[in-house]
Amino acid sequence: MPVPFETFLPYVIMTGMFAISGTGLAVIKTWQNEGKRPRYSIDQWDRQSTIQSRLDAQTSKKLLTDYIVMDRDRRLTGSLRGQTDKPEAPLGFELNNPWKLESRFT
């Protein structure tokens, strides 16, 4: 006994919506990462050499700063995912310090 094609329409619509939403999310994630594949995990080199913890003077809480290597790439190229192969830093980079000044004691 044949099945009418109308019975398959909900399944086609659901499958199509899954495909459209999955493709849309992949496109948005690629666009946010400037065309590069997303970083799912950062390797041990970035973890051990770049996480700095400091004690906040006002709240006495331990804060974790950003990954310094990735922040340095952002300061060099203007983009978080950008990297450069130039051996010399651009002009003005020596004044571009990621460390924030401490507040004065009053």
Buried b (16+ CB within 10 A) or exposed e, 22-48: eeeeeeeeeeeeeeeeeeeeeeeeeee
**Alpha-carbon Rg for the chain in angstroms:** 24
Q: What does DSSP say about strands 53-55 and 62-64: parallel, antiparallel, or unpaired?
A: antiparallel
pTM, two decimals, is 0.51
Determine contact, residues 53/63, Cβ cutoff 8 Å.
yes
Residue-by-residue pLDDT tens, the chain, 106 positions:
788 889 999 999 999 999 999 999 999 988 888 888 877 776 656 554 444 445 445 554 444 444 666 777 777 887 777 778 888 877 777 776 666 666 666 6
